[in-house]
Structure formats: C-alpha cells, structure tokens
Structure 1
Amino acid sequence: MALDRGFTYLVPEDMATPEAGARVLVPFGARVLVGVVREAKAEFGPDDDPAKLRELLERVDPPGRPALSLDLVRLCEWIAEYYVAPVGEVYRMALPGMAMGVDARRARVSAAGQALVDAEASPLLSAGSEDAPALASRPLERADRRLLEAIADGQTGKKGVAVATLTRLEPPIPAVLRRLGELAQAELVIVDRDEAKDKQARRELHYRRTDRLRGGADEAGIKQIVGRSKQRRGLLDYLELQADTSSDPWVPISEIRGPFPRARVLLPPLLEGGLVVSESRLRALDAFDLDDGADPGADGSKGLTLTGDQRRALEGLRAAFEAGRFASALLHGITGSGKTEVYLRLIASVIEAGGGAIVLVPEIALTPQLAQRFRARFGDAVAVLHSGLTAQQRLDAWEHIRAGERPIVIGARSAIFAPVPKLRVIVVDEEHDGSFKQEEGVRYNARDVALVRGRSLDAVVVLGSATPSLESWRNAREGRLALWSLTTRPTPRPLPEVEVVNLREHLPDPETLLSARLRQRLLDTANAGEQSILFLNRRGYTTALSCKTCGSFQQCPDCSAPSMTYHLHRNRLMCHLCGHIEAAPSHCLSCGSTELEHGAAGTERVEVAIAAALPGVRMLRLDRDTSRGKALLELLGRFRRREADVLIGTQMLSKGHDFPGVTLVGVLRADHGLGLPDFRATERVFQLLTQVAGRAGRGDRPGRVVVQTWAPDHPAIRYARTHDFEGFAEHELEARAKSGNPPIGHLALVRIHGTDRRAVDARAQAVADFARALGRRIVLAAGASATPASAPVEILGPVDSPIERINKRHRMQVLLRARSRRPLRWILDHLRHRLGPDGRGRSQTVARVDVDPYGLL
C-alpha cells in the first residue's frame, strides 16, 4: 500500500528547480523511482538536518513542460485531502502507467569502460573528463568493477541494461546508485533515458486456447497446470470464452491486460502445459476505429433540426461558456431526447473558440456509438481513452492530448485527468451511473471531481441524465446547478407505453421466465419484422446449484455469498465476487447425493429456454460473458444489422445503446435488487428500469415496454411505469430526509479487512472507539447544552459487512453519518493516521475509508 506522505529531496546546484507537476528521478532506498514534484515547499525545522537529505538524480520533464499542469497538481491534492487517499496513489492515477514507476533509465559501458573491464586493472577513477576531479581521489573498488561487469554482461548491443535491475543484483552492490553516477561522470558508463522504443512495433503477441483439456473434461489435469491461482484460471476461461463467442479466437496481449494486468506472469504455465498457444501477429487497430454496424452518417447528425428544448439548453450553455466563468448545469432529458446532440454542438462552439473538452461516459466499452458520433463530427481531433489500449498507446494518446493535437477526449472516469490544454467544457454523460465512483484504490467520484476541476479552470461542466442522481437533482432544485430540461424527443414518437404484469396473478414460465402476455408480445414483434430487448440483471445459467437431499448450496470456498453461479456453456461454477472457478460437481459436496437442482435463472438459461420455446425467433445475449473485448462490437453490429430478433442482457443494455429497430422491451424481473441492504437500492432499480425502457421506440415506430414484477406497487416500479422522475425524486428525498442519508446527510464508510477474523474485529473496534472519542470532543466543544443525542456525527458499528467474506478476507465496517460536512471532515482528518495496513503476516489488517460511498455492500 502506498505511503500517505510526501518526501523531501535537495535540488542539485547544477539543476534548475523543477516546477510543480514535473517528474523527477529520485533515490528511494536501494531503488530509483519516478516521482512528481508537489506545489508545497519544504520547510526545515530546528531539528531537521538538510545534510541528511538525498539529492534529485534527474529531471524527466524538460523545463516549462511538467507532466501535470498546475491545475491537475491542485486537483490531485484536493482528491487526496477530500477522499482521505494516499497522495502518491492519486498522482499515479493521474498519469499513464508508463509515465510513472521505477527508474526508466538504461546504462551501458563506454569504450573506455569496456577497455577497463578487459584490462582487469584497478586504476583511479580518472578515465573520464576533467570535470570529475573528485573521482580521481580513489581507486576503482571491487564493487565498482562488479557494477561495470554486470552492465557489460547484461547489455545487448547499444540497448544497455535497465538501471532498475542493477538495484536488485545478488549479492547487492553497496551504494549502487552513487557508484553508477560516479562511473557515468568518469565516462566509463553511459546512462540515458529509455526513449528508444520500437516505433515500428505494429506486431504483438496473440494468444489462443487450445483444445487440450477443454471444457473441463479433465478437471484434475487443468488444476495441475493452473495451480491455485484464481487469476490464471480466470484467464484460461477468458480465452476459452473468446474462442466460443468471437469469429477470431486469437486475443492480443493488449486486450488481455485489461482484465488481467499480470497477464505476462499468468501465461507461461498455461503455455508450457499446452493449454494456450501464442503467435506474433499484426497489432489490431483500436476497436473504436472500427465500424460496429452503426450508421451515424458522414457528418453525424449535424443537419438535424433542434427541438425547442434542445435549442434553449444549447443557448444557455453557450452563454455560460462565452461568459468565461465557471458554470455547472444539469441537462435532464428523457431517454431519446437528444442530449448527445446538445453536447456535440456545445463542444463545436468550444473547439471553434480554440478550447478543449472532456466527455466522461460510464463505461467506454459500452458506448462505441458515442465515440463514432464524435469522430464523425470532429475526426482526428478526438482521442478515445479506454482499457483496451496498450501502455504505449495510452502514453502516446496522453502525449497527443498534452500537445493539443487531440482537444476532445472521450473516456471513462480516469479521463477526467486528461491533460487537455485550454479545457473549457466537461461533460459527464449518464452522470447518475455508479461506475463513475471508483470502488478500489482511490475511491473518488469522477462526477464530483469534474465539478472541482471545472471550477478551478472557469470551465462549463454539464451533467446529463434521464434519471439524475438525487444529489444532482437536489443541487439543481436548490440553485447550485442550472437546470435545463428536454421533455420531448426529436422523432415524432413519444415515450413508450409501459405495461406492468403482476407475476402474482400471471405466473411466468419457470424456464423462459415469460408471462403469457410478454410471450405473445415477443412473437407479434418478431412476426412484424421488428426487434425486442429482454432485460434480466443476472448473468449465467442459474444463480445457484443446490442439493435436493440435504438442501446445501455449492458455495465458494473463499467467500460468504450463498452460492456460486452456474454457467452452462462452460460447465463451470463461478464466484462473481472473487473470481473462483471450478468444474460443476456431479454430486453434492456436503452429503454426496447426485440429486442437484438449479436455482433462479440467469440470462444464459433464459436464452436457451426461449430459443427452444419459440423456434424461429433468433436470439443474442449481451452480458459480461459474451461481450469481452472485440466480441462486444461484433455482437452489437449483428443486432443492429437485424441478424437477431431478440437481444437478452443485463444492465449493459441500459448504457447508451441506440437500436432504431427495437419496438419492444421486456423486463423479466423488475424487482430484482430491491431487497439489497443498501439505501440506494430503490434509486438504482428506478434508474435501471427507466433507462432500459428508453431503448424502445427510438426509431420511426412506437415502442412498448412490458414490466414483469412481484411488487407492482413498489415506488420504484410505480414511478417508472409513468416515466415520472420528478415524482420519484420527491418521494425518495422525503424518505432519505427521515434517515439522514445522502443527499440530505453525508456519509463516510470505514472498511477493515484481513485474513484473521479476530484481528479484523479488534482493529474495527479500535477504529470505532477512536471515532466515537472524536465525536464526544465535538459535543463537548459545542457547550453544556449539547447532548449525545444531538451529536453532529453518528458512529454506527463496527458490524460485519453485508458480504462478510470475499476471497478469504473478512470484512467489517464502521459508518459515519453527519448532518453537515464540517464535523465529518474534522473526524476524517484525525482518523487519517489510523488508516492503512497494520500488523504483519496473517494477522495484518487494512483499513480504508470511502467518502460519499455509492454502496454499502
């Protein structure tokens, strides 16, 4: 875990002081790392000894061109402070991977150095220039010779040896970095930056799953090769799935590294065991440069006539931009109302004025149409940042953006750190989506960070959604955000009619999950040559595999979830929490019975069942199992080209897809998710239903939505039926006010996890006790009239997390709830030094805080 502090170094006399945001090479223990210069200046106290400080080794960025602009430096510092995150993690997050990390230099021996190695002599270190007189005062020591020999032995031609590897020699060379610097000054060694990247590298390794032991036929053989690594088993499964769902079974290493960052470590045993083969192939183009079947037109939708609502919103946003001051607005538009066209025209005005723009989307892999529309309108001015880029591609894109060559950036949450010069507008599309909140590492919300960055640059920030988050809606109603509403669609078709089917009265088929009414609607739609979407927010074949004899579930050995999900196509049980994968058992693991039965159906089972029950109706499935990498574009292209009548999928269906041929949307289980122990559960279900319903009737034919539910009177379903966001927001805000939950109150969640249950319990109790002590200090400071009941910060817990164990790690949490931010911030500031890792070995625990948590599971 990163240290939550900065480090002070001296600037050498012959080096100009680097600016804030500049990268520098620094000695750090026995290593050399790339660091970022902070804006704060070091102040020495009476007990500090500057003589003990080490010097910077080298500047990475040239003078006047720091890697991070001053506004990004200040943004990183704000994130570290507000989200109580280690400042080093924040800076690392703001820069592409290849721009940070270990020493990027390489060393090679010079001709003089090679001659000295060959001579086996020990002269004084005076072989170099006259500018190194200090070196002539001592002889070449044994450690110096070892270092020279290591460089000479390890270098390949002129490429040299990575300096980072020299710090890991065994046995270690004492003061290796100082010796390397002296050898370089004596011109026995040449040290330079590794900028000799192979710019002709248009080829990369591709990998394919072989037929050996495929399909779980020899589970023991697979386990012997794969070992106990869940990641390695997941990678093997990923390659097998790619071979089954894509026309091309070969997967490039750049694509594999997205879900499996340690791919180069995971692959060798699979290659040696013959489960995977590799081949060097031409590097594929960026998937977002390819056509998925959409037809945005040569100029996008540039020629469309705006509706009155679109025109008023655009004029208001342009006026805010032209005023040259910070402005923030909520663009609340019903589904299909043309929010993207407003973004396009606003950004066109910004580009014409010489500015730049960032467009944040929930998941870039799910919005190829948006990327294509922007490229159709703006061409090469658009940079698309997504997880499929290689480290080199990401660095190249970052450099192009920084140089002003790509003034428009589209990407997921991390794109908020794009170094766009003259940034004048930031758009957060589908601002309500939970994927803008990072759940690991630095737990920031890109939507809120966008507002902070926009304010610092006097830019315009637009938050767009058909179902805004209650935080944004409340801010708009109270005047902190301007509100622009789009209430009509550009097409002549109104919002689709929503029909609710009460499953208590109309029991669904247990296999297809279709009620008789929805089944008939599907048939009528297919016979009319139109398309349908079916929504079920559960992937896999079934969510459980249980024993008929003893009733036990086949559980994940490492998590506390009730059961693993069964995937029929691969005959696997998978834990969607920790990634554990194993072959489906032929008997109960508890009692040995062979009578096993499946639980609730997932998308895979429904796809199989409907295909059997409705012959002639062509089916496709869109979920995480069928749409990894380039398979996503292939699947979307097939559906858009009318090669299927029905597309069944999970919440991925609600993310910005536009299918003109879809006239029917069916929701198989609308109440799924309402029972979760999370205060946002109702809001999330309403948003999902409204968004997925909005996929119907976006072309020139009217749409219809059929919602099947066991809870037809639940507010989330009742308000979604009438597309009444304002009514839902008023109802939900009233409920939140009673509980003090956001956006009325403010939360911070401290989660403690570790492998030893007793250690986790003790750490959680200590954190809670300390937080309560801080809370009592606030009450005492308020005066004699204050009582514990009126405490401005409520401390709840410690309690087990709703999912108590994930990947063998026990989880507990402490919830801090406050009526205002100030006392909560005071407690978090004092709690900061109690966070991070504590202890060693199996008893080590880790405590992290999530400020403004999106979920409590």
Structure 2
Amino acid sequence: MQRVRLLVFNAALGVLDYRVPQGVTIPFGSIVAAPLGPRQILGIVWEAERLSAQEVPDAKLRPLLEVMPVPPMSERLRRLIEWTADYYCAPLSAVARMALGSTAALRGGGTSTEYRLTGAEPARLTPQRAAALDALQGEQASIRELAELAGVSEGVLRGMVGAGLLEAVTVDLDRPYPPAAPDFAQPVLSDLQRSAADVFVHAVQDARFAPFLLDGVTGSGKTECYFEAVAEALRLDRQVLILLPEIALTENFLRRFEHRFGVTPILWHSSLKSSERRRAWRAIVQGNAQVIVGARSALFLPYANLGLIVVDEAHEISFKQDDGVRYNARDVAVMRAKFEGLPIILASATPALETMQLAEAGVYRKIDLPSRFGGAQLPDIQVLDLREQAPERGRWLAPPLVEALRDRLAKGEQSLLFLNRRGYAPLTLCRNCGYRFQCPNCTAWLVEHRFSRRLACHHCGHEAPVPDACPECGTGDCLVACGPGVERIADEVAEILPEARTALVTSDTMNNPQAIGEFVAMAESKAIDVIIGTQLVTKGYHFPDLTLVGVVDADLGLEGGDLRAGERTYQQIAQVAGRAGRGEKPGEVLIQTRHPEASVIAALANGDRDAFYAAETEARRDAGAPPFGRWAAIIVSSEDQAEALSAARAIGGTAPDLPDMLVLGPAPAPLALLRGRHRFRLLINARRSAELQKTLRSWLDPLDFPKGVRVNIDIDPYSFV
C-alpha cells in the first residue's frame, strides 16, 4: 500500500500520514484534500524522510480525497520553505501557508459576478447611498468587497442594485493578463547605466545564482538599469519578481513600468480583492504571469519559471515582518535566488550595513551609480542647530527654513517638509491636573488627530473622540497638545504661507492607491506647493520642481535606544534629502537638530556616507552586533501580567550557559502592554559561530507554558519595542 506524508496548514496538527488510492501516483509538492474527522483539510505532499510524524499502522490510514488541479510545488520552493522555517524558528506549516496565497485559486475555470456603478442619476439619495457613490467611482468587485470599500452595509448596495445604480458584470476568473513588451519604449541610458544594465542582462542570460548590490545615489536611475534585466527575462519567457517595501510606492512604480513595457505588472499584496488574488495566483503558478510586483508575501508564491528577483529599496525595514513568521524578505529573497539558481538585484541608495559587508567580502557583486542621471546635481545640505536658531515660541520651523519656504513659493518651486510622526501631537495632557491620555490596551500615549478629531493609538488602533473636558478632573477647555506631528506642521505652514497649496502625505491620508495616484498627479502638475509628510515621502517619488527639503526633527529617530537607530536615521534622512533637486534646478536640504555633533548628522551634512558606514561598522564590531555577531529576541506575552512574568523568568532561569552566547533579561518590553497583552523580552547576543537556532530550540522546546502565554522568537530583530 502507498502512503504519503502531508504537511497541513495547522501547526497544532503537525504532520499527518494518509493512504493513496490504488493506481494513483501523487508527486511531491502536490496540494491535496484529506479527511480529518468530519472535516476536510488541505495539505502538501512532502518527502517522508524530511518530516517526522507519529507512526500509524497502514490499516488505520484514511485515503486522500482529491488532488487539487494545480501544478505541484517545486522541490526548490519546498527547500526554501524548510530553510525559512529552520532559520527563523517558525512552524513549517506557517511558512508553507504563505505559498498558497489563495485557497479559492486551487480550482480553476468558471465565472463570478461583480458589480459596478451604472452612472444613473438616483431618484432618492440617502446619506449611505451618497457615500457609496463617492467611494465606488471606478471600482468593480463583489457586493461584500464594495461594502467594505464604501463603509456601508451590503443591504445598502443591494438596494442600489434594485434602483439601477449598480449593475452586475460577469467576470472570467482566469482571463489572461495583457502581455508586457520588452521593447515597448527603449530608454536613453548614460554610459554608467548602460554598463550596469549590461551586467544584469548577461546574468539573466546565464541563468545561475548571482547576487548583486546596485548601489546608486538618489536620482541615479537604478530602476532603468534593472528594467533592462526585466526586459531580457521577458524575451527569454521567464518570470520576474520585483519586491517593494510598501504598497504606497506602488502607484508611482506602476506608471514607470507601464511607460517602459506598455502594460502594468501584476500586483500581489494584502489589499488585493479576493478575485484579483485568485486570478494572480493561478497566472503565477501556470507561468502566465510575466512580472509580479509585490510586498513581502509575494516572495513565497509558487512561480512556474522564475528568472529574476529584484528587491527595490533593499535597505527598508518594512521588509522585516514583525508578527507571524518573523522573516526578513530581503534575506529570504537572496536564499530563494540561490535555491532557484537565478540572479537577484538588491537596489538601494543607502544599503543596509549587513549588505555592504557582504559586498565588501565579495559575496555580492557591487555595481555603483555614483552620480545622478542627466547631469542633475546632489542637493546642498545644511544643518540648522535649533539651540542657536530656535523657532518662534509655539512653532517648530526655524527662521532659515521659513525663509527658504517663502523663497521657493515666490519662485514657483516645490518644497517638502519631513517629520516621521503622524497626527497633530504625540501627547495630549490636562494643563490643570497633568492627566495624560494613554491607550487602555498599550503602554503608549494616544496621538491627537485634529483633522478627524480623534485620539488614536498607533500600535493597536484604539480610537476615542477628543473630550471637551478632562476625564480626570472635569475641567473644560484645558487640554494641551504637546510636541509636533505632521498635522501640526501643516497648520504652521498654513499660518506662515496662507497662499501655499499643501498636501499631507501619511498612511492616514494616503491609505489606498487611488489617493496616492491623485497626490502624484497633483504634485507633477505643480498643483501642490508644499508637501508635508512622514516616511511615506522619503523614497520612490520624482518631482522635478521640488527643490527644498526640510527635515523638521532629525533627532527623532535617534531616541528610544534602538540598536540600529543611527543607521535607520541616516537612511531615512538621506532618502528624503534625495527628493530635492532631481530635475534641472538645484536642490537644498535643511536639517533641524539639537545634536549637530552626532555622527549621523555630521555625515549627512558633509555628504560623507563612507565615514558614517566606517564608524557604524566599528561600533557594531565592538558590540558584537550584526553583521559581526547574531541577535535573537524571545518575546513572552499574556493577558495576565503575573503569568507572563512567571513564564519569562522560567525561560531566563533555564538559559544555557555557553561561551559564545550572552542572554540578557528577562525585562519588561519597551511596549510592556500591547493590544491588551503584557510583554517581557529576553535578548540573545551570540557570536557568528554559535549554533543559535539549534540552541534556542533545545532550550525552549522542553518548557511548558500556560495556554494564555505566547512565546515568540525573533531572529535578527529590527524592532525592539
């Protein structure tokens, strides 16, 4: 009798064996349906010798029910899933689930019914219908998805169908995507760009593992260089994966891609409608999807014929997932390229220190673009010492920055003000009794959002209206906003330059591709004079008339004790500075700080990236920090504080005493309460030679914890909250 071993998508079930019906052959990697009690579950047929399972007699095995009509998952992808689970100490089933993408996509063919506005004039317009008409312009989806988009009930939309305001459309679930044309628009490249592009094109032709670091200053044309490699992969009928750190970057990127290849690429991210996700997954697994642009999760999809991976803005911390499987997509992308045997390009103007070290060691081949395209010059950078050039009382912009804003407005040029803090103010308190508004679920202050008149927690999403009186002492008209957020800076700009047209760019205001597209169109048409934004504006945008960048608080990222704070601050400010002077007009960057002597600020002011990297490298080497040592974090949480503390102490009390590992903690996490759970952390600092993952498993696996306790391992952590 033939039996198979299934990896099922439930870590609690482990691995299960089943019987194969007589006369049926099921290759490894096949996705199958199997019985489990009265239910059906999905699983992947895996090599039995690679997964341990409880031995079950042949007579007790139940037969598989069905093999799903999709190609088996390749051996290369299965090895990547195993490597990721092993390296990040994650359940194998949780990693494998990311490859599935869409359970609805496992069965092909058929049609679905979607709905769209008819354009008819309504005879009777309720507030809900009016909201739906505004929100659903240009949208087509199921009733449920349209209801979520419009923020109304499904009943409202069904009433609109009956009134002739929405119409049904029959959609082919597997309709093909229009093909991209590799020679649709031939770019004009500089000699440096052409040289870099030729290297990438040859690597695609060679079809073997070749990791590259494309290190180019902002505005140097990195995208055009790797687009030539994309074009070559298309000519060879191979698939391409381009990873972007945030969906906010997608709209601008899609326009550039369409200009070069004639069509938009296929998108993959968490905000896709279920029908879009299903269609994309089937096209990917069948090899019909040519170029896929996606966030982290696109990395594990079962590509039929992958020929190139590009990680754009490869330094971005958004590539590190901080919940679920805590993996770094940049590093796993390199491993996928290695398993698949194909080239990978890591593109960045400010590479991560770990990436730079691998390039210097010769593991990655470094390709440099040291100058901007078309003769554009890098901006002039000046530091404003706020101890000497203080803003007016109650304001946050220093006089030289205010004068520079006025000058650009008079010249008809655009300015950008950067502050990586959403909302109006980070803290609201009562001037009478000192009461501070704190999140009930987290160890965090509630942030005032004046535009929506709400107090919000940026960690768990808790919101509350701004009260008229202090909830502690009952005094009215006594609440004070402390510190600036971008909304407060926008108010200050409106006072200083009342005639200026402003745009606020944050994840609150730019929360969908349509809003981002409208912002880009307005900025390019010079309908905006001053952009005020968070880190969403630091990368990816090219506005030729933007000549001034003001960094409102360069010290903000250096606070909080983050072990990568210096590197992260340098990258963020260097990226936002790179938005200035990208066209013919020269750019200027003014950095406000109270610590001009800090190495990060000095390096930015002098334009000396190498000096900063050298100093940061030595500091990391002395501390045994990555890339010269290893970090891992153990996060213990529970809704019961005493229970979490007891579990953390049990872990700390059984910590191994090894010469190549140092265990720090347990200690309360900086966010000691998050989403209603009390949290404690242990930090492990290990030498490169240490068998870190093996040690963690042998240390933690024998321990038992109460059901309410969660113990998460974070290998190579980026967040220390």
Check whether TM > 0.5: yes
Pairwise CA distance, 1:821: 4.9
1:333 alignment partner, one of 216, 219, 234: 216
Amino acid at match of 1:55: P
Using a 3 Å threshold, how does the CA distance of structure 1 residues 520 and 3 change in structure 2: closer, same or farther?
same
Unaligned runs of 5+ in 2: 1-8, 120-124, 172-180
C-alpha deviations, 1:336-375, integer Å up to 9, x for none? 1110011111221222233222111111332322222222
Alignment of 1:46-57 (within 5 A): 48-57=56-65
Q: 1:41 to 1:397 in 2, by over 3 A?
A: same
**Which residue, out of 784, 807, 822, partners 2:675?**
807
Q: Which residue of 2 aligns with 1:131?
A: none
Residue number among 86, 91, 95 corresponding to 1:86 in the alignment: 91
CA contact (8 A) 1:25 1:57 kept: yes
Give the Cα separation in 1 of the matches to 2:97 and 2:144: 18
- Please tell me whether the aligned partners of residues 635 and 713 of structure 2 are also in contact (alpha carbons under 8 angstroms): yes
Deviation for aligned residue 1:552: 2.1
Aligned match for 1:524, one of 407, 413, 420: 407
Aligned to 1:765: 649
Question: Does residue 1:397 correspond to 2:277, yes or no?
Answer: no
Q: Provide the C-alpha distance between the structure 2 equivalents of 1:636 and 1:443, rounded to a whole number of angstroms.
A: 33
The residue type equivalent to 1:421 in the other structure is: A
Contact conserved, 2:251 with 2:516, CA < 8 A, in 1?
no
Distance apart, 1:96 and its partner CA: 1.6
The counterpart of 2:665, out of the listed 778, 792, 797, is 797
- The change in CA–CA distance for 1:612 and 1:748 in structure 2 (over 3 A counts) is same
What are the superposed Cα offsets for residues 771-830 of structure 1, whole Å, 9 maximum, x if unpaired? x2xx33xx4xxxxxxxxxxx1011111111111001211011111110125421221232
Match of 2:536 in 1: 652
Kept in 2, the 8 Å contact 1:407–1:420? The answer is: no
The answer to whether 1:703 aligns with 2:584 is no
SS of residue paired to 1:37: strand
Residue identity matched to 1:728: F
Name the counterpart of 1:8.
16
Q: Please tell me whether the aligned partners of residues 204 and 283 of structure 1 are also in contact (alpha carbons under 8 angstroms).
A: no
CA contact (8 A) 1:362 1:435 kept: yes
User: Within 5 A, what are the aligned runs for 1:527-566?
Assistant: 527-561=410-444, 563-566=445-448
CA distance in 1, matches of 2:298, 2:528: 34
Q: Is the 8 A contact 2:248 2:510 kept in 1?
A: no
Q: Which residue of 1 aligns with 2:40?
A: 32
Instruction: Tell me, in whole angstroms, the C-alpha distance in 2 between the residues paired with 1:802 and 1:205.
Output: 52
Structure-2 separation of matches of 1:690 and 1:256: 44
- Where 2:469 maps in the other structure, the secondary structure is coil
Contact 2:216 2:368 in 1 (8 A): yes
Give the residue type in structure 1 aligned to 2:521.
G
Residue 255 of structure 1 deviates from its aligned partner by 11
Residues 205 and 232, structure 2, Cα contact 8 Å, conserved in 1: no
Q: Which residue of the partner structure matches residue 227 of structure 1?
A: none
Distance in 1 separating the partners of 2:285 and 2:431: 62
SS at match of 2:373: coil
Which residue is 2:454 aligned to? 572
Is the CA contact 2:98–2:301 (under 8 Å) kept in the aligned structure 1?
A: no
Alpha-carbon distance, 1:51 to partner: 2.1
Aligned-partner Cα distance in 2 for 1:298–1:452: 27
User: Which residue in 1 is equivalent to 2:174?
Assistant: none
Q: Deviations over 1:733-778 (max 9, x none)?
A: 11111211111111111101110011101111122233x2xx33xx
Code of the residue aligned with 1:614 in structure 2: it is L
1:253 is displaced (CA, Å) by: 9.5
In structure 2, do the counterparts of structure 1 residues 251 and 810 end up closer, same or farther at CA, with 3 Å as the change threshold?
farther
Partner of residue 624 from structure 1, selected from 493, 499, 507: 507
Equivalent pairs counted in the alignment come to 692
Tell whether the 8 Å contact from 1:498 to 1:706 is kept in structure 2 after alignment. yes
Q: Give yes or no for contact 2:99–2:302 (8 Å, CA) kept in 1.
A: no
SS for the counterpart of 2:79 is: helix
- After the TM superposition, which residues 846-857 of structure 1 pair with which residues of structure 2 at under 5 Å, given as runs? 846-857=710-721
User: Distance in 2 between the 1:485 and 1:817 partners?
Assistant: 33
Shift of the alpha carbon at 1:203? 4.2
Deviations 1:281-336 (A, max 9, x none): 67899xxxxxxxxxxx998873313232x233223333433443311111111111
Would the alpha carbon gap of residues 254 and 666 (structure 1) be closer, same or farther in structure 2, given more than 3 Å must change? farther
1:222-621 alignment to 2 at 5 Å? 248=135, 280=166, 302-308=186-192, 310-380=193-263, 382-561=265-444, 563-594=445-476, 595-621=478-504
The 5 A counterparts of 1:122-201 are 197-201=110-114
How far 1:546 moved relative to its partner? 0.4
Tell me how far 1:436 sits from its aligned partner. 0.6
- Which residue in the other structure is 2:631 paired with? 747
Q: How far apart are 1:603 and its partner, in Å?
A: 0.9
Q: Which runs of 5+ in 1 are unaligned?
A: 105-192, 213-238, 286-296, 780-790
The answer to whether the 8 Å contact 1:5/1:87 transfers is: no
Aligned to 1:74: 79
Equivalent-residue separation in structure 1 for 2:214 and 2:143 (angstroms): 37
Question: Structure 2 CA distance, aligned partners of 1:518 and 1:34?
Answer: 60
The verdict on how the C-alpha distance between 1:487 and 1:301 changes in structure 2, with shifts beyond 3 A counting, is farther
Q: Give the structure-2-normalised TM-score.
A: 0.89
Residue 691 of structure 1 aligns to a residue in which SS? Answer: helix
Alignment partner, residue 561 of structure 2: 677
Distance 1:432 1:701, change over 3 A: same
1:97 maps to: 102
What does residue 833 of structure 1 align with?
701
Change over 3 Å in CA distance of 1:743–1:753 after alignment to 2? same
Deviation of residue 57 (structure 1)? 1.3
| SS of aligned partner of 1:617 | coil
Measured in 2, the distance between the counterparts of 1:390 and 1:800 equals: 39
Q: Secondary structure at the match of 2:665?
A: strand
Q: Is the 8 A contact 1:745 1:817 kept in 2?
A: yes
**Percent identity over paired residues:** 36
Q: Which amino acid aligns with 2:454?
A: R
The letter of the residue matching 1:411 is: G
**Distance in 2 between residues matched to 1:204 and 1:765, nearest whole Å:** 59
CA offset at residue 21 of structure 1? 2.1
The 5 A counterparts of 1:686-725 are: 686-725=570-609
Q: Which has the larger radius of gyration?
A: 1
Tell me how large the CA RMSD over aligned residues is.
3.4
- The 5 Å alignment of 1:766-785 reads 766-770=650-654, 772=655, 775-776=656-657, 779=658
- Cα offsets for 1:180-219 (capped at 9, x unmatched): xxxxxxxxxxxxx7x675335354999xx9869xxxxxxx
- Tell me how far apart the structure 1 counterparts of residues 622 and 458 of structure 2 sit (CA, whole Å): 34
Contact 1:6/1:87, CA 8 A, preserved across alignment: no
Q: Specify the alignment match of 2:177 in structure 1.
A: none
1:581–1:15 distance in 2 versus 1, CA, 3 Å: farther
Describe the SS at the equivalent of 1:9. Answer: strand
Note if contact 2:15-2:51 (Cα within 8 Å) is conserved in structure 1: no
Asked if structure 1 preserves the Cα contact closer than 8 Å seen for 2:21 and 2:64, the reply is no
> Counterpart of 2:557 in structure 1: which amino acid?
G
Alpha-carbon distance change, 810 to 43 in structure 1, aligned in 2, over 3 angstroms: closer
SS of the counterpart of 2:46?
Answer: coil
Counterpart among 614, 629, 645 of residue 730 in structure 1: 614
Measured in 1, the distance between the counterparts of 2:355 and 2:622 equals 19
User: SS at the partner of 1:409?
Assistant: strand
Higher mean C-alpha deviation, range 34-43 or range 717-726:
34-43
Partner of 2:526: 642
